Structure 1
Amino acid sequence: MKHGGYLLWFLFIFHLLLKASIESDSREFSLFLPGFAVWQYHIRGNVAERSKHVFVSGWSGVFLSIAGFLFFTDMCIYWIHRWMHHKSIYKHLHKQHHTFKIPTPFASHAFHPLDGFLQSLPYHVYPFIFPLHKVVYLSLFVFVNIWTISIHDGDYRLPGHLIFLINGAAHHVDHHLYFNYNYGQYFTLWDRLGGSYRHPSVLLGKGPHDHIRKLMAEAPSLKINSMKSRTFERG
């Protein structure tokens, strides 16, 4: 009976949930991108004027600016993200992103427009405060978007010695499931300092679907990734 239940989950139910998740994520993703593109176009010219001569500092300056960008944006996004979880703010802005309990790559950019604007603000503020060459800035911006997708893609592989340093997909899935943990963008530093670090459940042998199965057992009906399915209604 137990094995039959697992077979039902992996062959039928999981795929229904994944399809509903991708459809919902894609819709939110497409609504966020147009405004994001306009903001990026406005910023691009200002950064170019400020930073077109930064390469005179040599490669050491380039690598230092990259490290500074990652540290600054990780710190700022941690506190902005944590503020978004305050009970007076969450339901108005950030709740939309957390409808996705098991994230997909589409969920990475599925935000309320103001939520997305505020969390991307550190990327654009940094080059107005610190020197950053326009090519480095645009390269980092591509990296940031790839990274954001990667921590929502469900690929939990990470070298063992980096687990305690890098905030990867396994860490971020726990953020979606357990809400008040792992707010960081790239690193676990600020979560450790802020008391919000949680070691990824999947690395302890408890995957995200275990949590969903527990919710299914406890709730009369279940709403997964903003899509309510009658399949799970009792009685």
Structure 2
Amino acid sequence: MNYLSNTELWILGTLLFMLRYIVIAGLFFYVLYVWKKTKFSSAKIQKEFPEQRQIKKEIFFSLLTFVIYGSGIWLFLYWIENGNTKLYTAISDYGMPYFILSVFLMIVMHDTYFYWTHRLIHHSLVFKHIHKVHHSFTNPTPWASFAFHPLEAFISLGIIPIILFILPFHHLALLLFITFLTVYNVIIHLGFPFPGLNRLKYSNTPEAHDYHHLTSKKNYGLYFTFWDKIMGTYWSKT
């Protein structure tokens, strides 16, 4: 059996990460900022639309992030091949209910990891060196969702080894989680409200995250508002 070299795996993984991002972010961007721009402009959270220069910068830093994400494949495969992770190969080993539960557990674990690392990189000693890049997009578009400084990209990638070492997981569950992560991160950077999210009591919303980008304060969560409400860092216009 022929195996791909590490370099080929890195290139393939990076291209797949980029493709998924381009399809998801690109679709939302095309509908809201190009095709239906006039129709939906009144709904935009910040009424002005960002300049092309900002959008190009968002795309550049996002693609750089996915190059870094792709490089992590080497290390993750090494851990998996050497039996260092809790990967299981048959869904029947744990059953479908656990398979579904594991995806939700990944999301909850990531939300906790994201909140506290996000608070960390907002510290005055760290912010200007790392997180300032992401906050230069005060009026974000879907392309800003992964527009990180390289060091922030490495920090954000840290949730994956935590999952690999702690949680029994099937590779399809991990794929579903990463896809959900991508979609939700794009949604909160839309710059437009997303139908239905405001009705969910503990869900993060584009409005809440847009406020965070504009002020660099409050609303540090990714998917949920649990930690923000517990820690007194939640803001809502309602």
Same fold (TM over 0.5): yes
Q: Displacement of 1:41 after TM fit?
A: 4.5
The aligned counterpart of 1:28 is 61
Q: Do the aligned residues in 2 keep the contact of 1:54 with 1:132 (CA within 8 Å)?
A: no
Q: State the one-letter code of the partner of 1:118.
A: I
TM-score (norm 2): 0.72
Q: Does 2:234 align with 1:192? A: no
- 1: CA distance, partners of 2:157 / 2:182: 10
Q: Displacement of 1:34 after TM fit?
A: 1.2
Q: Which runs of 4+ in 1 moved over 3 A?
A: 44-50
The aligned counterpart of 2:87 is 51
Identical-residue share of aligned pairs (%): 29
Stretch deviating more after TM superposition (101-110 or 50-59)? 50-59
Q: Displacement of 1:47 after TM fit?
A: 4.6
Structure number with greater Rg is: 1
SS of 1:167's partner is coil
- 1: CA distance, partners of 2:171 / 2:218: 34
Listed as ranges, the gaps of 5+ residues in structure 2 are 1-40, 42-46
Closer, same or farther: CA 167–41 of 1 in aligned 2, 3 Å: farther
Q: Displacement of 1:189 after TM fit?
A: 0.3
Q: Displacement of 1:73 after TM fit?
A: 1.0
Stretch deviating more after TM superposition (141-150 or 109-118)? 141-150
Q: State the one-letter code of the partner of 1:34.
A: V
Listed as ranges, the gaps of 5+ residues in structure 1 are 1-9, 205-235
TM-score (norm 1): 0.73
SS of 1:142's partner is helix
Q: 2:154 aligns with which of 114, 117, 121?
A: 117
Aligned length: 188
Cα-Cα RMSD? 2.1
The aligned counterpart of 2:214 is 177
Closer, same or farther: CA 71–194 of 1 in aligned 2, 3 Å: same
Q: Displacement of 1:120 after TM fit?
A: 2.5
Q: State the one-letter code of the partner of 1:26.
A: I
Q: Do the aligned residues in 2 keep the contact of 1:81 with 1:119 (CA within 8 Å)?
A: no
Q: Displacement of 1:45 after TM fit?
A: 5.6
- 1: CA distance, partners of 2:89 / 2:66: 31
Q: Displacement of 1:14 after TM fit?
A: 3.9
- 1: CA distance, partners of 2:192 / 2:48: 17
